[in-house]
């Protein structure tokens, strides 16, 4: 076979002159993006690039997750449940990508990581303000976390704002109330600056929707979409914990946490507890 036979000809209509046109690279600002990986190990360790890119891509996906969850909340504020669920559906696909991404970092062996870990100082994923922002929007609020971001005014302002705003779940119940559902006052008037906790008052309404889902399909579907969202988040947390265990064992985290023990406690946190609890009640 000749070289020409194994070469795809460039079509004449393909644009090749970008002296005065926007190119793929300029649109994506690849010069900035691809120069943002700055290893700090001395001498530079081969595997630090993997570590940096893993976390940078996670932050990019978290930026989109936050963008979509805020849009979903805004849609619920407008009683547009269809648009809200479209945003949630996109988040679910992002979550699957984020969870699978841990398998790449898991190729970093304990020996390899130990050779550049000390150069990280106290930097840690614990300090990801976008991750905290997503948790806040979904209802896992913790005012104490703001202290971590006092040296970053923009991050501190974002988290402070989200702390005082209703969560996605709060907006959901407010929307159902406006649509005529008998949402208890305890769900509508709660202190939105606190972490969401199980509300027994909601159980009759949720059970009613599940048992009469044909007549209340949109709400029934929303319940299940939110359960998917929570389950995906828990799978991400679990995969994170197992990857850390595989890489550093039971060592403390670089940010000062107990490491795996701290991550295990996160598995006990929940966003939409009633939607899980109702499963015990269905069919009784």
What pLDDT, on the 0 to 100 scale, is given for residue 241?
95
What does the pLDDT look like over 55-76, one tens digit per residue? 999 999 999 999 999 999 999 9
Torsion of CA 211, 214, 216, 217, to 10 degrees: 110
pLDDT at 4 > cutoff 80: no
* 53 carries a ligand binding annotation: yes
Rounded to two decimals, the pTM is 0.95
Rounded mean pLDDT of 273-280? 97
Q: How confident is the model at residue 1 (pLDDT cuts 50, 70, 90)?
A: low
What does the pLDDT look like over 154-164, one tens digit per residue? 999 999 999 99
Extract the tokens encoding 50: 């993997």
Nearest to 206 by CA among 272, 135, 139, 138: 272
Rounded mean pLDDT of 245-270? 91
pLDDT at 242 > cutoff 70: yes
What pLDDT, on the 0 to 100 scale, is given for residue 284?
75
What pLDDT, on the 0 to 100 scale, is given for residue 18?
95
Rounded mean pLDDT of 133-140? 98
What does the pLDDT look like over 6-45, one tens digit per residue? 888 899 999 999 999 999 999 999 999 999 999 999 999 9
Torsion of CA 212, 213, 215, 219, to 10 degrees: 120
Q: Measured between alpha carbons, how far is 251 from 53 in angstroms, rounded to an integer?
A: 23
What does the pLDDT look like over 120-132, one tens digit per residue? 999 999 999 999 9
What pLDDT, on the 0 to 100 scale, is given for residue 256?
87
Report the 10 Å Cβ neighbour count for 234.
Answer: 17
Q: Measured between alpha carbons, how far is 96 from 103 in angstroms, rounded to an integer?
A: 12
Q: How far is CA 275 from the centre of its chain?
A: 20
Report the 10 Å Cβ neighbour count for 102.
Answer: 20
What pLDDT, on the 0 to 100 scale, is given for residue 6?
84
What pLDDT, on the 0 to 100 scale, is given for residue 232?
97
* 179 carries a ligand binding annotation: no
Rounded mean pLDDT of 167-190? 98
* 117 carries a ligand binding annotation: yes
* 248 carries a ligand binding annotation: no
pLDDT at 283 > cutoff 90: no
pLDDT at 118 > cutoff 70: yes
Q: How confident is the model at residue 87 (pLDDT cuts 50, 70, 90)?
A: very high
Nearest to 252 by CA among 148, 149, 122, 109: 122
What pLDDT, on the 0 to 100 scale, is given for residue 100?
97
Q: How confident is the model at residue 200 (pLDDT cuts 50, 70, 90)?
A: very high
Q: Is 164 helix (H, G, I), strand (E, B) or coil?
A: coil
Nearest to 227 by CA among 177, 271, 282, 176: 271
| CB < 8 Å & 24+ apart, contacts of 142-149 | 142/195, 143/193
Tell me the pLDDT of the chain averaged across its residues: 96
pLDDT at 3 > cutoff 80: no
* 7 carries a ligand binding annotation: no
Rounded mean pLDDT of 71-100? 98
Q: How would you class 53 by CB atoms within 10 Å of its CB: exposed for 0-12, middle for 13-18, buried for 19 or more?
A: middle
Q: For the chain, what is the total number of helices (H) and then of strands (E)?
A: 13, 0
Extract the tokens encoding 192: 């939105």
């Amino acid at each position: 076979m000749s070289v020409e036979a194994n070469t795809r000809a460039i079509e004449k209509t393909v644009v090749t002159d970008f002296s005065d046109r926007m190119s793929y690279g300029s649109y994506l600002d690849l010069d900035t993006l691809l120069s943002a990986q700055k290893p700090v190990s001395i001498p530079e360790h081969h595997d630090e690039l993997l570590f940096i890119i893993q976390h940078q891509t996670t932050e990019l996906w978290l930026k989109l997750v936050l963008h979509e969850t805020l849009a979903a909340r805004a849609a619920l504020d407008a009683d547009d449940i269809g648009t809200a669920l479209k945003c949630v559906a996109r988040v679910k696909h992002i979550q699957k990508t984020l969870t699978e991404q841990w398998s790449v970092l898991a190729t970093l062996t304990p020996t390899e990581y130990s050779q550049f870990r000390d150069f990280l100082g106290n930097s840690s994923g614990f300090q990801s303000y976008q991750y905290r922002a997503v948790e806040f929007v979904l209802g896992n609020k913790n005012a104490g976390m703001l202290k971590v971001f006092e040296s970053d005014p923009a991050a501190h302002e974002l988290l402070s704002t989200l702390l005082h705003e209703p969560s996605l779940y709060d907006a959901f119940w407010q929307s159902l109330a406006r649509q005529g559902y008998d949402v208890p006052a305890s769900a509508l008037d709660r202190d939105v600056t606190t972490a969401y906790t199980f509300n027994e008052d909601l159980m009759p309404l949720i059970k009613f929707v599940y048992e009469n889902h044909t007549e209340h399909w949109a709400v029934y579907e929303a319940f299940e979409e939110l359960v998917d969202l929570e389950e995906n988040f828990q799978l991400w947390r679990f995969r994170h914990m197992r990857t850390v265990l595989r890489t550093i064992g039971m060592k403390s985290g670089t940010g000062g946490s107990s490491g795996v023990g701290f991550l295990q406690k996160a598995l006990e946190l929940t966003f939409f507890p009633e939607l899980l609890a109702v499963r015990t009640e269905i069919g009784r």
